Structure 1
Amino acid sequence: MRRNYRDIRYDQYEDILVEKKDQVLTITLNQPDAMNAFSSAMHHAMSRIWDDVQDDAEVSVIVLTGAGKAFSAGGNVVAMQRKIDDPDWWDATTVPEAKRIVFRMLECDKPIIARVNGHAAGLGATIALLCDIVVMADHAKIGDPHVNAGFPAADGGALMWPQLIGYARAREYLLTGDLMTAAEAHRIGLVNHVVPAAELDERVDGLARRLAGGASKSIQWTKQIINLPLRQLAHSTMDLALSLETQANRTKDHQEAVHAFSQKRKPVFTGD
Structure 2
Amino acid sequence: MGAEFRIEDTNYTRFTFERDGRILKAFITSDHPVNGVDAAMHDELATVFTDLQRDSDSDLIILSAKGRAFCAGGDFDWFEEQISDPAKFRGIAWDAKRIVSGLLEMEKPIICRLNGAAAGLGATIALLCDVIIADEKAVIGDPHVKVGLVAGDGGALIWPQLIGYAKAKELLMTGDMLSASEAQALGLINYALPTDAIDAKVDEIAGKILANPRWAVRWTKTVTNIPLRALAAQLMDASIGYESVSNFLDDRREAVAAMMEKRAPKLTGD
| Structure 1 runs, 4 residues or longer, greater than 4 Å off | 7-11
Task: Summarize the Cα distance change of 1:130–1:7 in structure 2 as closer, same or farther, 3 Å threshold.
Answer: closer
TM normalised by structure 1 equals 0.95
SS in structure 2 of the partner of residue 151 of structure 1: coil
Q: Which amino acid aligns with 1:72?
A: C
Q: Which amino acid aligns with 1:233?
A: L
SS in structure 2 of the partner of residue 71 of structure 1: strand
CA distance in 2: counterparts of 1:206 and 1:121, whole angstroms: 26
For structure 1, which runs of at least 5 residues remain unmatched after alignment?
none
1:261 is the counterpart of 2:259:
yes
Question: After alignment, is 141-150 or 46-55 more displaced?
Answer: 46-55
Q: How does 1:211-222 map to 2 (within 5 A)?
A: 211-222=209-220
Task: Summarize the Cα distance change of 1:205–1:7 in structure 2 as closer, same or farther, 3 Å threshold.
Answer: closer
Residue pair 1:32, 1:70 contacting (<8 A) in 2 also: no
Percent identity over the alignment is 41
Which residue does the alignment assign to 1:88?
Answer: 87
Q: Which of these residues, 158, 169, 172, is aligned with residue 171 of structure 1?
A: 169
Which residue does the alignment assign to 2:239?
Answer: 241
Residue pair 1:154, 1:242 contacting (<8 A) in 2 also: yes
TM normalised by structure 2 equals 0.95
Q: Which of these residues, 104, 120, 132, is aligned with residue 134 of structure 1?
A: 132
Which residue does the alignment assign to 2:75?
Answer: 76
For structure 2, which runs of at least 5 residues remain unmatched after alignment?
none
Which residue does the alignment assign to 1:36?
Answer: 35
Residue pair 2:6, 2:56 contacting (<8 A) in 1 also: no
Residue pair 1:134, 1:193 contacting (<8 A) in 2 also: yes
Shift, 1:32, TM fit: 5.6
Which residue does the alignment assign to 2:226?
Answer: 228
1:5 is the counterpart of 2:4:
yes
Q: How does 1:12-161 map to 2 (within 5 A)?
A: 12-31=11-30, 33-92=32-91, 94-161=92-159
Shift, 1:11, TM fit: 4.2
For the aligned residue pairs, the C-alpha RMSD in angstroms reads 1.5
Shift, 1:49, TM fit: 1.1
